Structure 1
Amino acid sequence: MSRPELEQLFADQIEARDEVRWDAATGRVLARRLRRLGALVLSDTQLTQPDPELLAHALLDALRTAGIARLPWSESAVELRQRLAFLQHHFPNDWPDVSDEALAAELDEWLEPHLVGLKSLNEVSRLDWNELLLQRLPGGWTQRQELDRLAPSHLAVPSGSRVALDYTDPTAPVLAVKLQEVFGLLDTPFVAAGRVPLTLHLLSPGGRPAQVTRDLRSFWQTGYFEVRKDLRGRYPKHPWPDDPLTAIPTKLTKKRFEAGQ
């Protein structure tokens, strides 16, 4: 019996169904229209304009299977997520949970609507991941401003530099800065409205931690002079004043600093 005869004889039993699925080999969503008579496939054609919602659902399934950690987070989105995790740790009633578990449980809400119209992971990677995270803030624009106040991405230090803060550990955010750039800064800076002191990684001119402390005042009183004795000979081109609290903060060598005066 020929196919046309089959289709004519069993027309009321033929099922047409669109199949949209993720194909790991190509990294894309494949969309096809299948016409079946029971287990027999009568035709299998590629869909040029599949249902965007079916595409989004297939992409979401692939991303859910890969796991939250495998999403194509940008570097800035990773840093933003760490800042949000820091605030959720210290203010659990006011800030959303951005852990892997929480994001995975709510993928349908915060991610799937933005997948409509996309067909590949390459397109997914171009989403504004920062904005997707910020849209989870219940307080809208006001809370976005609170984010910058309570967990700033950067901190201005006495030398004039804006130094990025590291919130990888929500219990101990880090300010890594060259020691000479914080001359004159007496006390340890705080974040979270004065609740959490920064862990200072005071770096040598070579960029290695010369001291790690949460008590800057104590460091100036005692630890600085040990560091100075150890590093002054190795970095003679950089300033090592007797009184770091009255010295001018700088990121320059002594020669370049004096030339700019």
Structure 2
Amino acid sequence: MLSIEEYIAKRKKEDRLDEFDGKFKDENLKICVNYIFEYFMNYISITEFEMKSIIKDERVEEYRKTLRAYEPEIIEWLTNIYDKSGKYANRIIGNMLEKYDFFSIFNTESEFREVSYELYKRITKRIPELKGQSEMIFQFIKAYHKKRAHAEGFSDYTFSNSILNWLEQTRKKYGVNIAVFAYKWLDQLYENKDLWPNTNRKDRFGQSEYDYTQKRNVFNLESLYRNIPKKAFIRGKKQELEALMMYIWLHNYCRDENGYWDEYSQKVLPIIDLQDKAQV
């Protein structure tokens, strides 16, 4: 932005004004006054508007870059919403979806459609610009699930091949990432000690810790299997799910100081492998 002196000098140059020419003293005075008027009434206001527009465009483009994991149609939709409302629809809707305990293992159109119906009123209350866009909300919910399904890989998991195959085949065939579901379940367990049964508590240095060495109902799998949707990729996989959660817990939520994973895996993984071979 030019200063007033720079703006007047610029306009003088454009008009080839010679303020030292005494013949046009009165006329030059009026012209210079007009320069000042132009500066404050037009130049500054236009420039501020342009600057705000530039800043807004930059923010929109920065936001667009964060959406690369989505398909172009979804990116354009989310970007337009942000441009109009300044709201991050992917984050707002995503946070709502994360409240569903079993969202990460949904894999049918009817499940995603039901969620979109349930959330429509809440979503449009937070983002009024989405009223009448139920179909795009539905499409985004599916896209968000797909993005989450590819958020966690398994290449660095030291499992038996049968568990790794189960994880990979489930993602490939059903679009479901069991590891994402396991992380979410364990997050809730880790953050809410009220969910811990007395049999799975132990005191250490005056603090309560989760006892994952118990043989029954570790990670509340009994209650999980009572409530989990009946899915083909979950049915008969309770032991595999326990092993997956045990691996994640010992490698991410606590220090496996006593080498319990080695002990556990030597006992459990061979059994899982044998069961897997028997089913082939």
Q: Indicate the structure with greater helix content.
A: 2
TM-score, scaled to structure 2: 0.29
**Structure of higher CA gyration radius:** 2
Structure with the largest fraction of strand: 1
